[in-house]
Chains A and B, each alone.
Chain A
Amino acid sequence: MNIAYFLLALLLAPFFLGLVNQTKAFFAGRRGPGLFRLYFDLAKLLRKSCPRAATSTWLFDLAPSIALAATLLAALVFPWSLEAGPTDAAHAPLAALSSVVFFYLLGTGRFFTVLGALDTGSAFEGMGASREVQFSALVEPAIFVLLGFLVLLTGGDSLADLLAGYQTGIWAHHAAPLLLAGLAFFAILLSECCRVPFDDPETHLELTMIHEAMILDNAGPDLAFIHYGAALKFELLAAFLVAMLLPALPFASALRFALLMGGVGATAVAVGIVESTLARMRFLKTPQVLLATLLLTTLGALLFVLF
């Protein structure tokens, strides 16, 4: 059954980016490219040939596939039906590490994208790679403080326990830290997925790009892998945000999955609204905002510990 949720989540991933773009189109007064645009784009890219620069090495050839594989593994770790993990340690020896593994698998995906970008030897891609790494290094402490907070809040340690496990009454007693953590993770999501206040996915000026600058040399199926990986990462992080804020739900697992996907859709609409109302920040301003996410998560944890 969990395999079915996993496959369904894989299938839905490009839809949510379509939802973001459709929201943006609505705010700009355009008709928009449609909710399923990315599916057509991916199908088109997969049919094309895959030209690679003569100067690049095997690293550039492998990077998109490894990045996608890492993101798919992260999706396998994720508890799509929001069920608490198995209780016996022998059943899942690595369960306690799964939340760390989840974020490091996403990090592995980024690492190989960066290596592939550097391998081309292009100045723009090197610049994009440098920015990507800088921002993710600033986000990482915030993520781990947040994980620490969730461990304190739920008393569990595996990713499934962190996302499935607290009682409904907790919103009445710990609304403040949860609110802070939710806000901080929303900012983390925007930064990790290269969305607007941090990066503009629609820019066509190399100097202002981050994620897009790294993949300028990729084409065909490689580019399809990268686009699909980005969509899946967005879905994963949005699902993490929703699951983190939802209390334990006494429903059937199919209904929980549907609720989770509804929440991801709502997050996508929220991202679209943010992108329509905010402009991209100056690069010099970004570290300050990312530092603020660290402060917010720390404050949330502190509030929870003290009160």
Chain B
Amino acid sequence: MISASEILLTLFLLTNLLLAGTGRLPPAIRLVAAQGWFIGLLPLLLWNWSDAGAPGLRIWTVAVVNALVKGLALPALLLYAVRKVHAKREMEPLVSFRVSQLLVFLIVAASFAVGKLLHVNEAIASELAIPVAFATMGTGLFLICSRRKAVTQVLGFLVFENGISVFGAGILLEYGLVVELGILLDVFVLVFVLGIAIYQINRTFASLDTDKMNRLGDIHLLHHHH
């Protein structure tokens, strides 16, 4: 089981690197959704099945709720918002994708160095969990700083939150998972509000857009002259 959780955490790192190099929004959202599913799976994989028997109801609830909210509901909401505002085209990074990828790699390397220095070996379930958590939080913060579009910044925020979840799952706090659910509720509300905000902003501006302006003036008459 140790091996399975490490493979999952490695995939988590990969999604971070991929997120830094992705230019289109729907794939980026799907990557964050994949992270959501990983977070749902993580407490089950870190659970000591052979010694402690089947995990209790609390673990199952948290796993299922995490996967449903972070892997299904929030990404679906963001995909819906992106489709509504026709924002499928490339994101507008302040830092190029190549440099982003390099910087995220440096963030990952730094978090491994820090994770190694911390020496929290008593409580953690997997050696990889703490560094991966730091790396994910760093990636989230980096995405918030380096991207211009509101949708991408929401994604960055979600990635940051995913990092906190990995931290919580990794150190196996007894009530950590319950606290996690509280945080999850906050995040859900925030992303919901942001999704609506993105839609509303776009709707206001869409009515000022070229389509309707053509009908306001006499541009269509100009076209007839040609």
A299 to B127 alpha-carbon distance, docked (Å)? 15
Pair A171/B3 contact, Cβ less than 8 Å: yes
Residues of B close to A291: CB separation below 8 A: 98, 101-102
A302 in the interface, Cβ–Cβ < 8 Å? yes
Pair A175/B116 contact, Cβ less than 8 Å: no
**Interface residues as binary, B66-89 with A (CB distance below 8 Å gives 1, 0 otherwise):** 000000000000000000000000
A180 in the interface, Cβ–Cβ < 8 Å? yes
**Interface residues as binary, B105-116 with A (CB distance below 8 Å gives 1, 0 otherwise):** 100110011001
Main secondary structure of the interface of A (DSSP, over half): helix
A303 in the interface, Cβ–Cβ < 8 Å? yes
Q: In chain B, what residue has the closest Cβ to A307?
A: B127
Residues of A close to B105: CB separation below 8 A: 295, 298-299
**Which residue in A171, A183, A303 is a CB contact (below 8 Å) of B14?**
A183
Q: In chain B, what residue has the closest Cβ to A295?
A: B105
Known contacts A292-B17, A306-B112; is-contact A175 B7 (Cβ 8 Å): yes
**Which residue in B2, B9, B109 is a CB contact (below 8 Å) of A172?**
B2
Residues of A close to B112: CB separation below 8 A: 302-303, 306
A303 to B116 alpha-carbon distance, docked (Å)? 11
Pair B6/A176 contact, Cβ less than 8 Å: yes
B187 in the interface, Cβ–Cβ < 8 Å? no
B21 in the interface, Cβ–Cβ < 8 Å? yes
Pair B3/A295 contact, Cβ less than 8 Å: no
In chain A, positions 151-177 with a C-beta closer than 8 Å to chain B are 171-173, 175-176
A212 to B128 alpha-carbon distance, docked (Å)? 44
In chain A, positions 256-307 with a C-beta closer than 8 Å to chain B are 287-289, 291-292, 295-296, 298-299, 302-303, 306-307
Residues of A close to B6: CB separation below 8 A: 175-176
Pair A302/B10 contact, Cβ less than 8 Å: no
In chain B, positions 84-134 with a C-beta closer than 8 Å to chain A are 97-98, 101-102, 105, 108-109, 112-113, 116, 127-128
Pair B116/A306 contact, Cβ less than 8 Å: yes
Residues of A close to B127: CB separation below 8 A: 307
**Which residue in A172, A180, A289 is a CB contact (below 8 Å) of B3?**
A172
B28 in the interface, Cβ–Cβ < 8 Å? no
> Chain B: how many interface residues by the 8 Å CB criterion?
22
Pair B98/A288 contact, Cβ less than 8 Å: yes
A292 to B103 alpha-carbon distance, docked (Å)? 12
Q: In chain B, what residue has the closest Cβ to A289?
A: B21
B166 in the interface, Cβ–Cβ < 8 Å? no
A153 to B10 alpha-carbon distance, docked (Å)? 18
B177 in the interface, Cβ–Cβ < 8 Å? no
Residues of B close to A45: CB separation below 8 A: none
B13 in the interface, Cβ–Cβ < 8 Å? yes
Residues of A close to B21: CB separation below 8 A: 288-289, 292
Residues of A close to B2: CB separation below 8 A: 172
Residues of B close to A173: CB separation below 8 A: 3
In chain B, positions 1-38 with a C-beta closer than 8 Å to chain A are 2-3, 6-7, 9-10, 13-14, 17, 21
Residues of A close to B3: CB separation below 8 A: 171-173, 175
A180 to B10 alpha-carbon distance, docked (Å)? 8
Distance to closest chain B CB from A215 (angstroms): 31
Partner-A contacts on B (CB < 8 A): 2-3, 6-7, 9-10, 13-14, 17, 21, 97-98, 101-102, 105, 108-109, 112-113, 116, 127-128
Partner-B contacts on A (CB < 8 A): 171-173, 175-176, 179-180, 183, 287-289, 291-292, 295-296, 298-299, 302-303, 306-307
Kindly list the 3 A-B residue pairs having the minimum CB-CB distance in the complex, ordered from nearest: A176-B10, A295-B105, A175-B3
